[in-house]
Amino acid sequence: MIAARSVSLTIRGRTILAPSDLALRPGTVTALVGPNGAGKSTLLKILSGEIRPGSGEVAVDGTDIRAIAPAALARLRAVLPQSGDVAFAFTVDEVVRIGLAPGIPRATANEIVRRALAAVDLADRAAQLSPTLSGGEQQRAHLARVLAQLWSSGRGDACLLLDEPTASLDLAHQLLVLKLAQAQAAAGGAVLAVLHDLNLAAMAADRVVVMSRGRIVADGTPAQVITREMLGAVYGVSLGVERRGNRVFVLPAGMEAA
Amino acid sequence: MTTAPPTEAVPAEEAGGPARLSPALALTGAGIAVAVAALLSLAVGAIPIPPSRVIAVLIQSLGGRDAIDPALAGDALVILDIRLPRTALAMLVGAATALSGGVMQGLFRNPLADPSLVGVSAGSALAAAAWIVIGGSLAASIAPVVGTLGLPLAAFAGGLVASVILNVMATSGGRTSIVGMLLAGIAINGLAGAGTGFLVFIASEQQLRDFTFWTLGSLAGATWIKVLLVLPFAVAVALVAPMLARGLDAVALGESAAFHVGVPVERLKRIAIVAVAGAIGAAVAVSGVIGFFGLTVPHIVRLACGPGHRLLLPASALLGAALLTLADVVARTAGAPAEVPLGVITAAVGAPLMLWLLAARRRSMGE
């Protein structure tokens, strides 16, 4: 469980993130949405421990994140960052192995890597050099690395933070990523995903948090949060929102059912 | 669940994997290269000594000087007093320089990075020039031993000072920025170059000759004292390297991703920088600036064995020891009785290799 209490970040007088609270709930997929520059990635990086907030604090399972050593933190949460270029010509297999917790028996490690690659549809690419993969394949290789980290962490309910995990993926693999996120939540982990596609967010997330100009402006179920009013106020666009049972869809204006 | 074969270490041999040497083969091969280079270095010179006699002298000397067959006494003198310290120094400097290059490249996530890039070598060179032009004669007039030891110690101190300045300049808020460090390195290189240039300008002709020879790198003045001077720093970087290997692999994904998988990135950088500064400072101190060596050796290893640092670092150390020893054999035999500066040979081989690697890289990466 990761919780941020009144975290903020100001860089050279510019407020990137106004004091914000966000507690990720175990067993829940939370989608973090909002326009570009709203502070989504900053909040995710603060939650991951990667950047220190200017004020406020982050706690993981009740412990201040600053007091947790990187190696211990890596067993409590995994992170899929936005860009994932690899500096040297590592094979896909080697990239995935970098995620493994140290000290895993070799047979177990091999099995975890095999499963992780299969889970992202890269089972037949293990030996290929990472720089020769397409952008989407590289993204999936990094996702496999993140899965290897989760599955070797020794606990099933580690947190998972995903920064635009669907950005360079085709439709089938976007759904695959979200299914893996839901699986981690089903295992008891708290999952946070920065997403741009509101329909994907509405479909995959139990909870949607909306950010705008460095603030959290809405927080609730997809149906509560994704409304015409929110889209107008936050994105400055006029779009239709369609409801079908519990599900909501965002549609181009004028296309909503009468 | 656990049916995976427990011994298979290189899954890359499945369909379409890159051709790579296995760790056992690479390390054995590099080890043999070290032994052959050392034997050659002890056998070749103004008085050629057959390898069989070299081995006999080495084995007998284990029992002390008195245990050596009197018939071999002449050879023993040449081997143990002249060639052995030089060979040992070549191996230590080669291993330390190549290993430092491998660590720096991993840290900078850049296969073209080199300790000389971040100003460590330039700092050493400036301090050495200052010693030769200003300090040396002064100190030698006090006591000859101060003059002898002063140059290497000054070079080492210069390298360390450059590293400290670099660290201060590139670190803010507890984080070291790699880009900031590279830029600071360029600035330090420029400053040290200007200082060195000025000293060369005011130097006397004799000082200039000393200094030019020294900046091109040479093992000509090898003594056991110099071996002992560089030994602790080479051992330190060799002991630290295995602990850095996993972290450097992770840093290849970026510093954030390395932190995400549990690497204490800031500590890793501090340890790596100090270890490299010590090793390079000490190496430059005893042998001068040997160009392109720390850059080229890890490159060759990466090409043969892949980029994983668990193998890259030890293999680079061994190959560095072997190649610098061989380069030194060429340095003292090619133009005998005069010596060709070692840095001239390493640059003459290393620079074209570097260009070829760049061209090959551009082709394969489609840049």
pLDDT, tens digit (0-9, with 9 covering 90-100), for A154-203 = 888 999 999 999 988 999 999 999 999 999 999 999 999 999 999 999 99
**Average pLDDT of chain A, as a whole number:** 92
Q: What pLDDT is recorded for position B135?
A: 73
Cβ neighbours for B157, distance < 8 A, ≥ 6 positions apart: B127, B281
Please check the confidence at residue A257 and state whether its pLDDT lies above 80: no
Q: Around Cβ B70, how many Cβ atoms within 10 Å?
A: 7
A106 against B112, higher pLDDT: A106
Q: Is residue A148 part of a domain?
A: yes
Out of A78, A87, A91, name the one closest to residue B252 (CB). A87
Out of A74, A87, A90, name the one closest to residue B261 (CB). A74
All residues of chain A having their beta carbon less than 8 Å from the beta carbon of residue B251 are 87
Q: What pLDDT is recorded for position B169?
A: 78
Arithmetic mean of pLDDT, B278-286: 84
CA distance, residue B304 to nearest chain A CA (Å): 12
Q: Per-residue confidence at B2, pLDDT binned at 50, 70, 90?
A: very low
Q: Is residue B63 part of a domain?
A: no
Out of A81, A88, A110, name the one closest to residue B307 (CB). A88
Q: Around Cβ A231, how many Cβ atoms within 10 Å?
A: 19
Arithmetic mean of pLDDT, B80-107: 93
- Mutate which: A44, A47, A85, A88, vs B, most B CBs within 10 A: A88
Q: Is residue B69 part of a domain?
A: no
Structural domain containing residue A78: 2-252
Torsion angle of C-alpha atoms B157, B162, B165, B166, degrees rounded to 10 = -140
Q: Is residue A190 part of a domain?
A: yes
Residue B171 CA to residue A141 CA, distance in Å, equals 32
List the one residue out of B241, B223, B210 whose CA is nearest residue B89.
B223
Where do the DSSP E strands lie in A181-223?
Answer: 191-194, 207-212, 215-220
> Are the beta carbons of A107 and B259 separated by less than 8 Å?
no
Please check the confidence at residue B8 and state whether its pLDDT lies above 80: no
* pLDDT tens string B140-171: 666 666 666 677 678 778 887 887 787 777 76
Q: Total structural domains in chain A?
A: 1
Is A186 strand, coil or helix? helix
Q: Is residue B213 part of a domain?
A: yes
Q: Is residue B68 part of a domain?
A: no
Q: Per-residue confidence at A46, pLDDT binned at 50, 70, 90?
A: very high
Q: Is A86 on the interface with B (CB under 8 A)?
A: yes
Structural domain containing residue B339: 97-104+112-359
Please check the confidence at residue B250 and state whether its pLDDT lies above 90: yes
Q: Percent of chain B, pLDDT > 70?
A: 86
Q: Around Cβ A78, how many Cβ atoms within 10 Å?
A: 27
Please check the confidence at residue B91 and state whether its pLDDT lies above 90: yes
Q: Is residue B338 part of a domain?
A: yes
Q: Is residue B51 part of a domain?
A: no
Q: What pLDDT is recorded for position B13?
A: 43
**Average pLDDT of chain B, as a whole number:** 83
Q: The CATH number of the domain where B243 resides is what?
A: 1.10.3470.10
B149-187 as b/e: b if 16+ CB within 10 A = bbbbbbbbbbbbbbbebbbebbbeeeebebeebbebbee
Q: What pLDDT is recorded for position A201?
A: 94
Please check the confidence at residue A2 and state whether its pLDDT lies above 70: yes
Q: Is residue B193 part of a domain?
A: yes
Ranking A82-96, B137-151, B214-228 by mean pLDDT, the lowest is B137-151
Reported ipTM exceeds the 0.85 cut: yes
Q: What pLDDT is recorded for position B11?
A: 44
Out of A81, A93, A108, name the one closest to residue B257 (CB). A81
Please check the confidence at residue B121 and state whether its pLDDT lies above 60: yes
Please check the confidence at residue B336 and state whether its pLDDT lies above 80: no
Arithmetic mean of pLDDT, B245-268: 93
Q: Is residue A147 part of a domain?
A: yes
Q: Total structural domains in chain B?
A: 1
Indicate if the alpha-carbon torsion angle B288, B290, B294, B295 is positive or negative: positive
Q: Is residue A257 part of a domain?
A: no
> Are the beta carbons of B11 and A73 separated by less than 8 Å?
no
Q: What pLDDT is recorded for position B108?
A: 79
Q: Is residue B84 part of a domain?
A: no
B110 against A128, higher pLDDT: A128
A226 against B220, higher pLDDT: A226
Residue A152 CA to residue B136 CA, distance in Å, equals 59
> Are the beta carbons of B260 and A74 separated by less than 8 Å?
yes
Q: What pLDDT is recorded for position B146?
A: 66
Q: Is residue A258 part of a domain?
A: no
Q: Percent of chain A, pLDDT > 90?
A: 80
Q: What pLDDT is recorded for position B10?
A: 43
Q: Is residue A98 part of a domain?
A: yes
Arithmetic mean of pLDDT, A105-124: 96
Q: What pLDDT is recorded for position B4?
A: 41
Residue B335 CA to residue B333 CA, distance in Å, equals 6
